[in-house]
Amino acid sequence: MDTKNISCVHACAALSRVNKLPKDFCHHLLTMESYRKHIIIILIQFLDNHYGIMQKNENLKNYR
């Protein structure tokens, strides 16, 4: 949604009025699914760099 001209709440209300979903009008990198995926990768890399958790936990190696 364009936050320069219209607030997200009003844009979502307008889309709802015409039976459209806000997620259909957002870039895929701005979805919660994408955010969660990328924030997990960033967090794991940070923890690995500072605490070496990748060597300690085999399950986390799949996220790289």
d(CA 11, CA 30): 16
CA 45/CA 52 separation, integer angstroms: 9
In the chain, what percentage of residues exceed pLDDT 90?
12
What DSSP character marks residue 41? H
Which run of H or of E encompasses 44? helix 32-51
The CA distance from 21 to 13, in Å, is 10
pLDDT of res. 15: 93
- Kindly state the percentage of the chain with pLDDT values over 70: 70
Q: What is the pLDDT of residues 28-55, one digit of tens each?
A: 877 888 888 888 888 888 888 877 766 5
Domain boundaries, the chain: 1-26, 31-64
